[in-house]
Amino acid sequence: MIKTIFRNTILVGILVLAICSLLFYGLQYKQTINETFDELSLETSYAIPALERSGVEYLGSLGDENRVTWIGHDGTVLYDSEYENLSTDQSRYEEVADALKDGVGESMRKSDSSGVQTIYYARMLEDGTVLRLSRPLGAAWYALVAVSPVLWVLVLVLLLSGILAFRAAKQIVTPINNLDLDNHANNPYPELAPLLDKIQEQKMMIQEESSLREEMRREFSANVSHELKTPLTSISGFAELMATGNVSPDKVTEFSKDIYKESQRLISLINDIIKLSRLDENADLPPKEDVDLHELALGIADDLKPAAGKNNIYIDVTGDSVHISGVRQLLYEMVYNLCDNAIKYNYPGGKVTMETLRDNRNVKLVVSDTGIGIPKEHQKRIFERFYRVDRSHSKEIGGTGLGLSIVKHGAIYHDADVTVDSTPGKGTTITITFPGENAE
Ligand code: ADP
């Protein structure tokens, strides 16, 4: 930041100085040329009477700062202080032509003889000849060097502004670096107040998020241990009792059945964990194929009929045959879990409906039940791993607490959307919407 402020300030300084120097030297240059013309004019006015009086010897006695040329009225060179035997017709030059015509003439051009940019001034004598004085433009440039102290001043100003710019940049940045983000009262720049407020807001948000995440993590660990510990505690308890040898044979049969049930629960829990971790890694999934969701729902209804029958729950499959491209096994798991929940969390004699339909280009699978419903505050969390609305009844109802997580991950894998609509005591409707591009 210091570098940027410094660079920008110094750039502005250089730019301003460059513009000022250009203006100054431009004006100075113009003025020097005008002054040279004036000087040449003045010197000509002194030289002409002397030339008329003393003739060409006078010209030879003139100093060598200027080139002096005496030109006849026909343009021939009568005398030149620098070149002997110049045979060029001088009347073709602008200043000489003007002098021959109007009495005086001036011009600035490249000299044919020296090849140097030169300032010319010519004036006609009474006898019709012309006296021309000229001086190379380089002399005007030397005059500019005469004002070179100004240049040094500019360089000095530039150096000074560099030092000041660096100090100013440091003065701006240091308080920002020393800002106390927890205590805004010491903020030296009121302009930074909105930024500091935003930082404070974000800090609070991060703190809230991390404490929420920590709470969820703790809850998750507690849930996992609960799910694993409950069946294991039962198994260990029954086995311990049986090991005493004091259990009657019919109790042994009963305990063995319980041990079998709890082991099955553990096995299905581990299977669900394996399914989820495979989904997490997108690993080992069979390729997508054409799946008729209606047909799939009919098969699942058949598979779950015995479980539904235990509580007199009626399963209905309605709607049309709709095809999507998906992983059959995964889709089976998803719809099975939804239908299984609709049976598990239903009232005896209740109803479960699975409907497949097309909605514009999308394909929908809707599983609804007339069961216990899910209170609003739990609806968002039921897709979390091991989350259960009523943990106290989970043992008798069964399940692993992972069914809806598999539904959610399966939906993500198929780019589908899952929504929940539920009213406690009345029932639940869960809809999976497959996007048009997945529909066949
Ligand atoms: P579980 O194995 O416990 O059924 P899920 O992940 O399938 O685990 O469901 C999570 C929780 O969501 C369930 O424990 C239950 O409280 C609630 N739930 C899911 N489906 C329904 C439903 N159709 N009706 C009422 N509650 C449901």
| Domains of the chain by residue range | 2-146, 181-284, 289-438
Distance between Cα 398 and ligand 1 center (Å): 10
Whether residue 382 has its Cβ less than 6 Å from ligand 1: yes
What pLDDT, on the 0 to 100 scale, is given for residue 82?
86
> Strand pairing of 130-136 and 104-110?
unpaired
Distance between Cα 400 and ligand 1 center (Å): 9
Whether residue 337 has its Cβ less than 6 Å from ligand 1: yes
Which atom of ligand 1 lies at the shortest distance from residue 371's CA?
24
* Contact call for residues 259 and 242 (beta carbons, < 8 A): no
In 3-state terms, what secondary structure has residue 25? helix
What pLDDT, on the 0 to 100 scale, is given for residue 307?
94
- Top-level class of domain 2-146: alpha beta
Task: Round to whole Å and give the CA distance between 294 and 336.
Answer: 13
Residue owning the nearest CA to atom 19 of ligand 1 = 341
- Concatenating the DSSP letter of every residue in 99-128 gives HHHHSEEEEEEE-TTT-SEEEEEEEE-TTS
* Contact call for residues 322 and 363 (beta carbons, < 8 A): yes
CB atoms within 10 A of CB 242: 15
Whether residue 368 has its Cβ less than 6 Å from ligand 1: no
Which atom of ligand 1 lies at the shortest distance from residue 398's CA?
2
What pLDDT, on the 0 to 100 scale, is given for residue 165?
82
* The one-letter amino acid at 329: Q
What pLDDT, on the 0 to 100 scale, is given for residue 145?
63
Pocket test for ligand 1, best of 388, 394, 430 (most atoms within 8 A of CB): 388
* Contact call for residues 424 and 390 (beta carbons, < 8 A): no
What pLDDT, on the 0 to 100 scale, is given for residue 407?
96
Whether residue 374 has its Cβ less than 6 Å from ligand 1: yes
Which of 421-425's residues contact partners 24+ apart within 8 Å by CB, and which partners? Answer: 422/373, 422/374, 422/379, 423/373, 424/372, 424/373, 424/374, 424/375, 425/372, 425/373
Residue ranges in the chain whose pLDDT is less than 50: none
Distance between Cα 96 and ligand 1 center (Å): 111
What pLDDT, on the 0 to 100 scale, is given for residue 144?
63
Sheet-wide strand order for 104-110: 77-80, 67-71, 130-136, 117-124, 104-110
Which is nearest to 106 in space by CA: 116, 114, 118, 98? 98
pTM: 0.59
Residue owning the nearest CA to atom 1 of ligand 1 = 401
What pLDDT, on the 0 to 100 scale, is given for residue 116?
86
CB atoms within 10 A of CB 126: 8
Task: Round to whole Å and give the CA distance between 179 and 185.
Answer: 10
What pLDDT, on the 0 to 100 scale, is given for residue 346?
96
Which atom of ligand 1 lies at the shortest distance from residue 406's CA?
6
What pLDDT, on the 0 to 100 scale, is given for residue 440?
58
* Contact call for residues 123 and 133 (beta carbons, < 8 A): no
Residue found by looking up tokens 């250089």 in the block: 14
What pLDDT, on the 0 to 100 scale, is given for residue 333?
94
Task: Round to whole Å and give the CA distance between 40 and 200.
Answer: 77
Q: Encoding tokens for residue 143?
A: 């005059």
Which is nearest to 129 in space by CA: 164, 162, 180, 91? 91
Residue owning the nearest CA to atom 14 of ligand 1 = 388
Query: Selecting from 3.40.50.2000, 1.10.357.10, 1.10.287.130, 1.10.287.1080, what CATH number does the domain 181-284 have?
Result: 1.10.287.130
What pLDDT, on the 0 to 100 scale, is given for residue 84?
83
- The superfamily (CATH) of domain 289-438 is Histidine kinase-like ATPase, C-terminal domain (3.30.565.10)
> Residue 160: CB partners within 8 Å, gap ≥ 6?
none
In 3-state terms, what secondary structure has residue 136? strand
